[in-house]
């Protein structure tokens, strides 16, 4: 195999994504999936072992919406390693084909990583004791812990992928 005589110039956005960043970006939606799957049965009236569950009429809708929004936001991390995170897909009205300014992705992703770290630091302050939750059996508590613990990886994974995106797209 011979190399071409002239190697085409690569513009800044053409740099390859590090393999570790691709893996980390794909892990992010998997960190949110177990907690979403734990909440869904609650919305259908299955108590998931929690004693004394009495949902308000709106809470099942909230659990489903929270699960869908959380998973959707987590999936946005893939944009930091996919072509659509560098150039808007052609099918998008008015913006299709345009270059995504790097900071338009870096700033929200970085703020998201910080916000997630603050949210989980607060939400998991008593972890794994779970405060006011009481379970019918220790196995149910362990299941909830196992389903929610992966959320602690979301912020660091997002931060690492964001740094990789910034280095790839903004550094000379």
- Is 69 part of any domain? yes
- Is 33 part of any domain? yes
Q: Is 38 exposed, middle or buried (0-12, 13-18, 19+ CB in 10 A)?
A: middle
Domain that holds residue 120: 17-170
- Is 65 part of any domain? yes
What would the pLDDT profile of 120-159 be if each residue is shown by its tens digit? 999 888 777 777 778 899 999 999 999 999 999 999 999 9
- Is 5 part of any domain? no
pTM of the shown model: 0.86
- Is 116 part of any domain? yes
- Is 6 part of any domain? no
What would the pLDDT profile of 9-41 be if each residue is shown by its tens digit? 334 466 899 999 999 999 999 999 999 999 999
Domain count, the chain: 1
């Amino acid at each position: 195999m011979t190399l071409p005589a002239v190697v085409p110039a690569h513009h800044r956005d053409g740099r390859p994504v590090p393999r570790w960043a691709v893996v980390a970006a794909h892990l992010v939606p998997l960190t949110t999936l177990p907690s979403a799957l734990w909440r869904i049965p609650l919305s259908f009236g299955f108590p998931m072992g929690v004693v004394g569950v009495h949902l308000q009429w709106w809470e099942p809708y909230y659990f489903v919406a929270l699960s869908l929004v959380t998973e959707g936001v987590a999936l946005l991390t893939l944009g930091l390693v996919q072509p659509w995170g560098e150039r808007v897909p052609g099918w998008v009205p008015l913006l299709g084909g345009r270059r995504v300014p790097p900071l338009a992705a870096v700033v929200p992703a970085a703020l998201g990583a910080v916000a997630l770290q603050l949210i989980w630091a607060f939400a998991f302050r008593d972890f794994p004791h779970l405060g006011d939750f009481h379970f019918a059996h220790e196995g149910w508590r362990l299941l909830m812990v196992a389903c929610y613990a992966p959320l602690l990886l979301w912020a660091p994974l997002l931060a690492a992928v964001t740094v990789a995106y910034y280095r790839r797209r903004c550094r000379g």
